[in-house]
A and B are shown apart, each in its own frame.
Chain A
Amino acid sequence: EVQLVESGGDLVQPGGSLRLSCEASGFTFNKYWMSWVRQAPGKGPEWVANIKEDGSDIHYLDSVKGRFTISRDNVKNSLYLQMSSLRVEDTAVYYCLRDYGGWWGQGTLVTVSS
């Protein structure tokens, strides 16, 4: 069974940094594109970034370009999101998503507030 477990969410001040992790199991991790998706309170999901199976192709939502970095470790079956220069509007639950089939983790809450 596909399992995705996110961690790393926290309360952080504007301008701060945070690193999210997602541990994958139940499938061959290095054969799938992976994404980060976020959902602000009371809003719909918003795709943030994705990364190809071998990390050679990466795309970002315009509003996070230059601030967020997606990466993966296919040995550790893990996906990461390094977030810097955080803004209040980045507050959301962040989900790890396996692109094919649309599998979601349970999410980790990032709150950006002073």
Chain B
Amino acid sequence: QPVVTQEPSLTVSPGGTVTLTCGSSTESVTDLLYPYWFQQKPGQVPRALIFDTSNRHSWTPARFSGSLLGGKAALTLSGAQPEDEADYYCLLYGGYRVFGGGTRLTVL
């Protein structure tokens, strides 16, 4: 099972833009790994923001977008809001499903 890597922590200013990435130890991330992005706030269940690389759920704010960038999956937040402060986890769907270790995003 591959190791999925994410930045442990990132900080973004309110209104700013930040990109979180998700890489695999065994291969470049492509659409065939159907990258997912989950947001988790303290005491809450993780909630999917992005599925299949770039598809938003109905509840996902438009300021979140998913893409592929340099062999990794990427989650870009444009116009960060205080309520976006959370942990973000990616999930790759190979034969196995593997979560990344998560990125703690601070809006400051």
- Residues of chain A at the chain B interface (Cβ within 8 Å): 35, 37, 39, 44-47, 50, 59, 61-62, 95, 99-107
Contacts and interface: CB of A to CB of B under 8 A. Distances in A.
B22 interface: no
Contact of A101 (B48, B87, B98, B100): B48
Contact residues of B: prevailing secondary structure: strand
Interface size class of B (residues with CB under 8 A): 20 to 34
A95 B95 CA distance: 20
Interface string B16-49: 0000000000000000000010100000011110
Interface of B: 1, 36, 38, 45-48, 51, 57, 87, 89, 91, 93, 95-102
Nearest to A97: B97
